[in-house]
Amino acid sequence: MSVKVLNQPWRRPRRPHGYCPPVWSYRQRQTSPRPRVRICRHVRREGCCGHCPSPRAIARIERVEALTPEHVQTALDAFQLGITIRLFSQSTATAPLAAAALGCEVGQIAKSIGFIVQAQPVLVIASGDQRVDDRKLATLLGVTRKHVKLATPAQCIEYFGYAPGGVPPVGHRHRPYRVYLDTSLQRYTQIYPAGGSSSAIFCVALAALVQISGGIFADIRREASPRCGTPPEVLQE
């Protein structure tokens, strides 16, 4: 007959993935058997889950400098299309600000949105008056929605080379894994993408945008859901 021994002190319990052992001070050892404050061993921050990057990785990301519109102009000159970047004194980081500075429609502004999908950079170029649906993007890439993450400002500089609001469709630090152009851009013949900073824009034809970006057209825009009590024609305006 076998006897099951419970509460064996020599067996260490299994720790969950990402467990961050607490840091004990000498006074805490003398007063209480358990520490009162749990401090992350990676960045020395309280309440951390253990999945944060190491200080060496954080310092490496902070040392990466953003590229400039000169890098974008060099990449555009390689195509020999005669495209010149325009610099403005005011900010053009958002689609309404860029449309106001150029005097065009908001839909003509091409916003470049960076995503990180399974550690791979993916660039989506959409119209300024549309929103990107991450569910459709996940379906195109053959992954689930939880694997599609919007790139942080640090990741935009690390992978694409530019801060959000100035990501161009060409001249990236690393070549994106996929480049998708939303079908909403096909409404216009002249498109205005960002030129490498929050105050740089250039004009390009739709066919030339496909050529310099190397992307393919796909329906990635988010469908507008009608609100309760709001007529559909009001939402379309």
pLDDT tens digit string along 29-69? 444 444 444 444 444 444 444 455 555 555 555 567 889 99
Report how many helices (DSSP H) and strands (DSSP E) the chain contains, helices first.
Answer: 8, 9
Q: What is the pLDDT of residues 97-147, one digit of tens each?
A: 999 999 999 999 999 999 999 989 999 999 999 999 999 999 999 999 999
The pLDDT, as a whole number, for residue 24 is 44
Please report the domains of the chain, with CATH numbers, ordered by start residue: 14-63 (no CATH), 69-218 (3.90.960.10)
Would you say 88 and 148 are in contact if contact means Cβ atoms under 8 Å apart?
no
Q: Which amino acid, residue 155?
A: Q
The pLDDT, as a whole number, for residue 223 is 84
Range in 12-16, 77-81, 226-230 the model is least confident about? 226-230
More confident residue, 6 or 204: 204
* Helix or strand run (H / E) with residue 210: helix 206-213
Provide the 3-class DSSP secondary structure of residue 143.
coil
The pLDDT, as a whole number, for residue 46 is 43
Would you say 184 and 190 are in contact if contact means Cβ atoms under 8 Å apart?
no
The pLDDT, as a whole number, for residue 36 is 44
The pLDDT, as a whole number, for residue 53 is 52
Closest C-alpha to 141, from 118, 158, 111:
118
* Helix or strand run (H / E) with residue 109: strand 109-117
User: Where on the phi/psi map is residue 120: left (φ > 0), alpha (ψ -120 to 50), or beta?
Assistant: beta
The pLDDT, as a whole number, for residue 173 is 92
Q: What is the pLDDT of residues 179-223, one digit of tens each?
A: 999 999 999 999 999 999 999 999 999 999 999 999 999 999 998
